[in-house]
Amino acid sequence: MAVRVRFAPSPTGRLHVGNVYIALANWLFARKERGAFVLRFDDTDRERSTAEFAAGIEADLRWLGLVWDESARQSERDALYAAAVETLKANKRLYPCYETPEELDLKRKSQQQRHLPPVYDRAALALTEADRRRLEAEGRRPHWRFLLHREDVRWHDLARGPQHIDEASQSDPVLVRADGRYLYTLPSVVDDIDLRITHVIRGNDHVTNTAAQIQLFQALGAMPPGFAHLPLLTDAKGEGLSKRLGSLSIAELRESGIEAMAVSSYLARLGTADPIEPKHDLDALATRPAGEWAQLFESRYRRGPWPYGSGVWGKKEWIAPGIRDEHVVSMDEGGTSLLPAPRLGAAIGAGELWIKQCGNSHTGSFKDLGMTVLVSAVKQMIADGSGVRAVGCASTGDTSAALAAYAAAAGIPAIVVLPRGKITPAQLVQPLASGATVLAVDTDFDGCMRVIERLSIDEGVYLANSINSLRLEGQKTVAIEIAQQLGWDPPDVVVVPGGNLGNVSALFAGFDMMRTLGVTTRVPRLVVAQAEAANPLYLASRNGWLYEPVTARSTFASAIRIGSPVSVRRAIRALRACDGLVEQATEHELSDAAALADKEGFFTCPQTGVALAAAVKLARRGVIGHGQRVVVLSTASGLKFADFKLASAENMPIELPGDYDAVRRALDGALACRV
**What is the arithmetic mean of pLDDT over 446-468?**
88
Grouping H, G, I as helix, E, B as strand and the rest as coil, residue 73 is strand
pLDDT of residue 346: 87
Task: Express each pLDDT in 541-587 by its tens digit.
Answer: 999 999 999 999 999 998 899 999 988 999 999 999 999 999 999 99
Count of residues in the chain: 675
Check 32, 107, 243, 422 and give the catalytic one. Answer: 243
In a domain, 562, yes or no: yes
Grouping H, G, I as helix, E, B as strand and the rest as coil, residue 568 is helix
pLDDT of residue 273: 64
What contacts 8, CB < 8 A, 6 or more positions away? 40, 41, 42, 188, 191
In a domain, 533, yes or no: yes
Burial of 63 (0-12, 13-18, 19+ CB in 10 A): middle
DSSP 8-class letter at 153: E
In a domain, 117, yes or no: no
**What is the arithmetic mean of pLDDT over 98-115?**
91
How far apart CA 644 and CA 658 sit, in angstroms, is 30
How far apart CA 79 and CA 413 sit, in angstroms, is 65
pLDDT at 334 over 60: yes
What's the CATH number where 629 sits? Answer: 3.40.50.1100
Number of domains composing the chain: 1
In a domain, 44, yes or no: no
From 389, 529, 540, select the one nearest 463 (Cα to Cα).
389
Provide the pLDDT confidence category of residue 235 given band limits of 50, 70 and 90: confident
Q: Return the higher-pLDDT residue of 43 and 397.
A: 43
From 351, 396, 420, select the one nearest 531 (Cα to Cα).
396
Distances in whole angstroms, Cα of residue 36 to Cα of each of 62, 67, 70: 16, 10, 8
Q: Identify the domain containing residue 502 by its residue range.
A: 338-361+472-648
DSSP 8-class letter at 391: E
Kindly report the average pLDDT of the chain as a whole number.
91
How far apart CA 103 and CA 105 sit, in angstroms, is 5
Task: Express each pLDDT in 69-89 by its tens digit.
Answer: 999 999 999 999 999 999 999
CB-CB neighbours of 450 under 10 Å:
15
- Nearest 5 degrees, angle CA 496-CA 639-CA 462? 65
pLDDT of residue 674: 62
Alpha helices in 258-366 (DSSP H): 260-268, 282-285, 290-300, 316-319, 342-348
From 217, 210, 169, select the one nearest 192 (Cα to Cα).
217
pLDDT at 438 over 80: yes
Task: Express each pLDDT in 266-321 by its tens digit.
Answer: 898 887 767 777 888 899 999 999 999 999 999 999 887 889 999 999 999 999 99
* Helix (H), strand (E) at residue 36: strand 36-41
pLDDT of residue 23: 96
Cis peptide before 565 (omega within 30 of 0): no
pLDDT of residue 65: 94
How far apart CA 229 and CA 162 sit, in angstroms, is 12
In a domain, 544, yes or no: yes
- Nearest 5 degrees, angle CA 519-CA 525-CA 531? 130
How far apart CA 449 and CA 565 sit, in angstroms, is 10
Q: Would you call 243 a catalytic residue per the annotation?
A: yes
pLDDT of residue 626: 84
How far apart CA 26 and CA 70 sit, in angstroms, is 13
Grouping H, G, I as helix, E, B as strand and the rest as coil, residue 633 is strand
In a domain, 584, yes or no: yes
**What is the arithmetic mean of pLDDT over 611-634?**
93
String of DSSP letters for 349-381: T-SEEEEEETTSSTTSBTHHHHHHHHHHHHHHH
pLDDT of residue 374: 95
String of DSSP letters for 486-521: TTS---SEEEEE-SS-HHHHHHHHHHHHHHHTTSSS
From 280, 283, 282, 299, select the one nearest 291 (Cα to Cα).
299
**What is the arithmetic mean of pLDDT over 45-63?**
91
pLDDT of residue 305: 86
Provide the pLDDT confidence category of residue 200 given band limits of 50, 70 and 90: very high
**What is the arithmetic mean of pLDDT over 473-488?**
96
Assess contact for 481 and 373: CB atoms under 8 A: no
pLDDT of residue 48: 86
Burial of 534 (0-12, 13-18, 19+ CB in 10 A): buried
CA dihedral of 377, 382, 387, 389, whole degrees rounded to 10: 80
Assess contact for 401 and 431: CB atoms under 8 A: yes
User: Residue 39 pairs with which residues in a beta bridge?
Assistant: 7, 71
pTM above 0.85, yes or no: no
In a domain, 569, yes or no: yes
pLDDT at 530 over 80: yes
In a domain, 479, yes or no: yes
Q: Return the higher-pLDDT residue of 261 and 613.
A: 613
